[in-house]
Chain A
Amino acid sequence: MTTATKSASRKLTTARAMAEATAQEMRIDPRVFVMGEDVGPLGGVFGNTRGLFDEFGAERVRDTPISETAFIGAAVGAASDGMRPIVELMFVDFFGVCMDAIYNLMAKNTYFSGGKVPVPMVLMTSTGGGYSDAGQHSQCLYGTFAHLPGMKVVVPSNAFDAKGLMTAAIRDDNPVVFMYHKALQGMGWLGTEKGATVAVPEEAYTVEIGKAAVTREGQDLTLVSLGAGVHHCLRAAQALEEEGFSAEVIDLRSLVPLDRDTVRESVAKTGRLIVVDEDYHSYGVSGEIIASVAEHPGCRLRAAPKRVAYPDIPIPFAPTMEQWALPNADKIVAAFHQMLTDN
């Protein structure tokens, strides 16, 4: 539940918002501590632990040896011992070296202990491309993580949600994977999305995990997305408005649990659905959203739904090649035009 006052006019980057949420929880809860690569004096390569080392010291803000298996496995252990660790997998692309700790331990220990061993930890990880870093530093893998039972998955699109979701994630008794898109962090070198830096209240607040946001209301079309994709949708909605169409934009914010009701309600109103996802096209979020709408008895689609997603290929480096392949507002608008022609 959003308990924030909207009075704050202070703007923060997503990185700062994440750090602030973490600091506020660390002040009130001694069980919270942070581990990862370069999260200490450097403040995280994406800035989201900045200031924590100075305030809380090396025992609670730990740079670790470079072994994701070690520190994520250790976090599972510490969480089983009643602590509330926050760990960072620097790029989600590196999940391959430590996946067992994530999906066989973090996600399943509670289930296999008959509910006796909760694992209240947060796994933060960066996602997304657009800044020419190729296919081992640019993936989203939203579908990969959301596919695996036992862990919640959140994906903020702006600083306000990032702070609220981070606070909620830390307080949650489940393991939560917090996936933040690099272009939203407010770090200059990552092709920063200006719309992500928004007003953020100073006091602690939560954004409910599992509740989507209707970011823009409309009548003719529902655009569903997450993370950086939300900003592409907002630009597309703006362009469509100039053509006389009104698009509703839904920011999922959370993949697990997934707010299917909000999506269905919107589609019931507009009758048209386009899902925008920077993750791979097949077997991912876009398919899940479309299926969730289509399988519902109340489904009233006026046109075949569409997805604007990343092709099923590894992400290339060459800036032109990458831009060809990434979703963008033009592709969303084009998909809508196609939808009208198809009908």
Chain B
Amino acid sequence: MTTTTASQVIHEPRFMDGDEFHIATFALLQQDGTLFEGARAPELGRETARRIYHTMVLIRVLDERMLAAQRQGRLSFYMQCTGEEAAVIGSAAALDDDDMIMAQYREQGALAYRGFGIDEFMNQLFGNAEDYGKGRQMPIHYGSAKLHYMTISSPLATQIPQAAGYAYGQKLDGQGRCTITYFGEGAASEGDFHAALNMAAVHRAPVIFFCRNNGYAISTPSVEQFAADGVAPRAFGYKMHVIRVDGNDVLAVYAATREARRIAVEHNQPVLIEAMTYRLAAHSSSDDPSGYRSKKEEALWREKDPVNRMRLWMLAQEWWSDDEEKTLQEQLRREVLETMKRAEKRPPPPLASLVEDVYAEVPARLQEQLDALEAHVRRHPEAYPKSAPGLDQGGA
């Protein structure tokens, strides 16, 4: 008989409750922008720090503006990253730019850090003819093959096994790359999470599982999501490296992810990171949090604002100034607004694109359906307000 456990044998029943595992929270930066006593900032040069901070401000501005646009009826749907910028952008910054990112949906900051332009965001949000996804996916489901950011898929947690597989491929490739996959503490309840972590540990895939524990899954607080102390303890069950980090502390997130990347790539070991943070905004433009959480709780977390925390640190480094802040804010606001106005005027993709890419070639059946549809739309243009330009214009 073979056995896979080298367990000691005992003769009294002894149950364990797991309480011996206490997972501490790694934090470096205090809210006033100074380091904790004894804490050492990661080696993060001025340029990288500025790139991170710039991205944080961009995402704040973009999120505010696009939520407002949704409220004005210009956009069907939006999701903000507000409150989680340090977790998302700090971790993306710790990677190489050609490491793979498989995100959930609230990680626009990671994509922006890679250089996705405001124009590119807008084209996706409005689903116009210049959107890489050809107007097919709903807003915030960005993707960029060039920037190694897999197109977002709506069903939760399904990106996690894919990340394990992508990373396994990277290991076989031998180019020293890894994959990071982001997901919420809610999505981590899906079977896909458990299955993926177990497999990645067995296959020794260089993948970083990055959990944004932001306290809520739509209206469901994390106490309804798991009985354990967060998501981090699960790593032990898979024999996986794990760290919990203050997700509103950009320096700690950066340092933790850098080290996770080293473990993943140098030792072919997956790593789980649990970033403790808070979803300051509503779940999405369709949600109103006042029905399930208190203003007081939100205010408490607003005081822990990650962007503000980084700004204070940057000021103290003299890597940033109040003047620069003012200029950047104004410039981004202007740029976001102007870019949005341009993007929303662009035509939708052409009607014929409806049937493209369903298969490698358009089958006869779909061509028939398209022909019928096109004939109908041409005969009844009044029923389809934008169809006159959209029918023939646009492009891939």
Please report A residues at the B interface, Cβ cutoff 8 Å: 37-38, 40-43, 45, 63-70, 91, 93-94, 96-97, 131-137, 189, 281-282, 311-314, 316-321, 323-325, 328, 330-331, 334
Contact A132–B76 (Cβ < 8 Å): yes
Chain B residues whose C-beta falls within 8 Å of the C-beta of A137 in the assembled complex: 138, 154
Known A97-B191, A133-B76, A321-B348: A312·B366 in contact at CB below 8 Å: yes
Q: Which of A38, A66, A134, A321 contacts B190 (CB 8 A)?
A: A66
Query: Which interface residue of A68, A91, A135, A311 has the most chain B CB atoms within 10 A?
Result: A311
Give the distance in Å from the alpha carbon of A238 to the alpha carbon of B76 in the complex. Answer: 30
From A41, which residue of chain B is reached at the shortest CB distance? B292
Complex Cα distance A91/B153, Å?
14
Q: Is the CB of B154 within 8 A of A331?
A: no
- Chain B residue numbers with a CB within 8 Å of A68 are 190
List CB contacts (< 8 Å) of B149-206 with chain A: 153-158, 186-187, 189-192
Residues of B within 8 A of A328 (CB): 383
Question: In the complex, how many residue pairs between chain A and chain B have their CB atoms under 8 Å apart?
Answer: 156
Contact of B219 among A42, A64, A93, A313 (CB under 8 A): A42
Asked if B127 is at the interface of the complex by the 8 Å CB criterion, the answer is yes
Are A281 and B369 interface neighbours, CB within 8 A? Answer: yes
Which single member of A282, A324, A330 contacts B351 (CB below 8 Å)? A324
Chain A contacts for B351, CB-based, 8 A: 321, 324
Residue of B nearest to A190 (CB): B286
Known A318-B128, A320-B348: A38·B286 in contact at CB below 8 Å: no
The verdict on A41 contacting B291 (CB below 8 Å), with A136-B155, A320-B387 known, is yes
B317 contacts the other chain (CB 8 A) = no
Which one, A42, A96, A318, contacts B127 given CB within 8 A? A318
Number of chain B residues close to chain A: CB under 8 A: 58
Q: Quick check: A317 and B138 within 8 Å, CB to CB?
A: yes
A41-B219, A324-B354 in contact; A311/B369 too (CB < 8 A)? yes
Task: Return chain A residues, CB-CB under 8 Å to B46.
Answer: none
19 contacting pairs across A/B (C-beta < 8 A)? A42-B292, A45-B287, A66-B187, A67-B189, A69-B190, A94-B156, A132-B77, A134-B138, A136-B155, A282-B365, A311-B366, A311-B369, A311-B373, A313-B354, A313-B355, A313-B358, A313-B366, A320-B348, A324-B354
- B139 CB contact (under 8 Å) in A45, A69, A317: A317
Q: Within 8 Å CB of B224, what residues of A? A: 40, 63-65
Q: At the interface, yes or no: B136 with Cβ under 8 Å from chain A?
A: yes
Contact B218 A45, beta carbon cutoff 8 Å: yes
Whole-angstrom distance from the CB of B237 to the nearest CB of chain A?
16
- Of the residues A45, A314, A316, A323, contact of B286 by C-beta under 8 Å: A45
A135 touches which of B136, B225, B291 (Cβ 8 Å): B136
Residues on B with beta carbons closer than 8 Å to the beta carbon of A38: 218-220
B136 & A37 in contact (Cβ 8 Å cutoff): no
Knowing A41-B292, A321-B349, A324-B377 are in contact, say whether A134-B369 is a contact too (CB < 8 A): no
Give bound CA distance, A96 to B191, whole Å: 12
How does the 8 Å CB contact mask read for B324-337 relative to A, with 1 for contact and 0 for none?
00000000000000
Q: Which of B218, B355, B377 contacts A42 (CB 8 A)?
A: B218
Please state if B127 and A37 are interface contacts (CB–CB under 8 Å). no
> What's the nearest-Cβ distance from chain B to residue A128, in Å?
14
A137 to B155, CA, bound (A): 9
**Contact flags B355-396 to A (C-beta < 8 A → 1, else 0):** 100100000011001100100110110011111001000000
Most buried by B among A70, A134, A282: A134
Min Cβ gap A173→B in Å is 29
Let me know if A334 and B349 touch, CB within 8 A.
Answer: no
Residues of B near A321 (CB, < 8 A) are 127, 135-136, 348-349, 351, 353-354, 390
Q: CA of A321 to CA of B377 in the docked complex: distance in angstroms?
A: 11
- The 8 Å CB contact of B354, one of A41, A42, A136, A311, is A311
Given A281-B369, A313-B358, A320-B348, CB of A334 within 8 Å of CB of B376: yes
| B226 located at the interface, meaning its Cβ lies under 8 Å from any Cβ of chain A in the complex | yes
Are B218 and A96 neighbours in the complex by a CB distance under 8 Å? no
4 further interface pairs, Cβ-Cβ under 8 Å (given A42-B218, A136-B154, A320-B386): A41-B291, A134-B154, A311-B366, A324-B354
